[in-house]
Amino acid sequence: MGMQTQVAIIGGGPSGLLMSQILQLNGIDNVILERQTRDYVLGRVRAGIIEQGTIDLLRSADVADRMNRDGLVHEGIDIAFAGERQRVDLHKYSGGKTVMVYGQTEITEDLYEARDKMVGKILHEVSDVELHEVTSQNPYVTFKHENQEKRLDCQFIAGCDGFHGVSRATFPCSILKTYERVYPFAWLGLLSETPPISDELIYVNHKNGFALCSMRSETRSRYYLQVPVGTDVNDWPDERFWEELKVRLPDQTANELITGPSIENAVAPLRSFVAEPLSHGRLFLVGDAGHIVPPTGAKGLNLAASDVYYLSRALLEFFQSGDETALKGYSNRALQRIWKAVRFSWWMTLMLHKFPDDGEFGEKIQQTELEYLFSSEAALSVLAENYVGLPLD
């Protein structure tokens, strides 16, 4: 069975949905092919810190009503070390910029609602996806859907299918180069229906390991502990998690912690990963298909959004004028911003986590790094500028 569209989008997570929404708003026909069910996609719990550039992009895509109403604007973060908390005034040191707490799950729900209103074409539970003739003027995708073999002819393919997807695997080994750093620890996360310990996030450097106090809303909290790779979530009942979190927090902060039963627990490994290039013929990688960052810098979803920004604008330019210049420059342009975010996420991870093999020297360097950070307005400006998000243009 044959189908035809202008842009085939592989993957129906937030980057694929946002790409689809922007393209259709601008009159460009597209089809999303998603391996999972809609409920599965909506059930993924992911990061919740979004930059101004992502906020602006969601607003321009007409999917921001609930975000504008429910999103929590944050003007700073706290960093705790040596038993004390110190605040980084993001608003002050970034020239008036802020970030917003609004969960990826909520963004995905908003995007699905918008796609439904526009009768967007999304095929779920698609399997056996293969990309063909991506270096030609007429690439196409074959797949299985509802027990039928199908073909989707298109002009371009946006690979928004994540780290394990088929899009990056389609690149020839001869042109694809990957860069990776796997970190020697993981994050154990706990989600609870409890009010957050603080109005802003608290990043913690402690001799037992990193901790993070975050939130999803004014009534739902998300906490993380650094744990060894291979940790079994079943070895961490709620009581053990809360007790260890209190140990890592400054005493006064620990006394303010409101605990409760968890509604989700998970262990996530940390890695930095970048693939180059992000384009091959008329196939383009977007989001996790091309790069992964540790969550310490809150960049994952925001980097995917910036990829969508660059690629959607390049596609609009092509369909409006026939000019492929921006499409040919997509990979280089996106990678410039990606590597800066990878550097920042690596630096934040290095500064805040306990590295098993670094010993006392490493601890002294971390302590000095943190002390220097709060003694230098220039250093605080560098952190704030990167945390709120570097300019898209």
Question: For 284-299, what is the mean pLDDT?
Answer: 96
CB 24 within 8 A of CB 313: no
ω before 277 within 30° of 0 (cis)? yes
- Give residue 3's identity as a one-letter amino acid code: M
CB 127 within 8 A of CB 252: no
Q: What are phi and psi of 226, to 5 degrees?
A: -70, 130
For the stretch 68-79, pLDDT in tens is 999 999 999 999
CB 315 within 8 A of CB 327: yes
Predicted confidence (pLDDT) at residue 46 exceeds the cutoff of 70: no
From the list 85, 114, 15, 17, the residue with the least C-alpha distance to 254 is: 85
DSSP sequence for 341-364:
HHHHHHHHHHHHSPPTTTHHHHHH
Helix H or strand E encompassing 274: strand 262-276
CA dist 29 and 8 (Å) reads: 9
Say what the alpha-carbon torsion angle 293, 235, 217, 309 is, to the nearest 10 degrees.
20
Number of H helices, E strands in the chain: 13, 21
Mean residue pLDDT of the chain comes to: 96
For the stretch 100-133, pLDDT in tens is 999 889 999 999 999 999 999 999 999 999 999 9
Q: Which two tokens stand for residue 21?
A: 């929404």
Question: For 71-91, what is the mean pLDDT?
Answer: 97
DSSP annotation of 90 reads H
User: At 278, is the secondary structure helix, strand, or coil?
Assistant: coil
Predicted confidence (pLDDT) at residue 269 exceeds the cutoff of 90: yes
Please report the pLDDT score of residue 42 as a whole number: 83
Q: How far is CA 115 from the centre of its chain?
A: 21
Who wins on pLDDT, 46 or 81? Answer: 81
For the stretch 49-65, pLDDT in tens is 999 999 999 999 999 99
Predicted confidence (pLDDT) at residue 326 exceeds the cutoff of 70: yes
From the list 41, 113, 26, 105, the residue with the least C-alpha distance to 70 is: 105
Residues that are catalytic = 74, 203, 295, 299, 387
- How are strands ordered across the β-sheet holding 99-101? 49-50, 99-101, 72-74
Please report the pLDDT score of residue 48 as a whole number: 82
Reported as a pLDDT band with limits 50, 70 and 90, residue 41 is: confident
User: At 71, is the secondary structure helix, strand, or coil?
Assistant: coil
Reported as a pLDDT band with limits 50, 70 and 90, residue 275 is: very high
Please report the pLDDT score of residue 356 as a whole number: 87
Predicted confidence (pLDDT) at residue 40 exceeds the cutoff of 90: no
Predicted confidence (pLDDT) at residue 268 exceeds the cutoff of 90: yes
Strands 148-153 and 140-145: antiparallel
DSSP sequence for 142-184:
EEEETTEEEEEE-SEEEE-S-TTSHHHHTS-TTT-EEEEEEEE
Predicted confidence (pLDDT) at residue 389 exceeds the cutoff of 70: yes
Please report the pLDDT score of residue 45 as a whole number: 63
Question: For 207-222, what is the mean pLDDT?
Answer: 93
Count of all residues that appear for the chain in the document? 393
What separation in angstroms does the CA of 165 have from each of 143, 202, 317?
14, 34, 27
**Domains of the chain, start order:** 2-72+99-179+271-349 (3.50.50.60), 183-270+356-388 (3.30.9.10)
From the list 86, 173, 32, 177, the residue with the least C-alpha distance to 376 is: 86
Please report the pLDDT score of residue 47 as a whole number: 65
Could you tell me the end-to-end alpha-carbon distance of the chain, in angstroms, rounded to an integer? 42
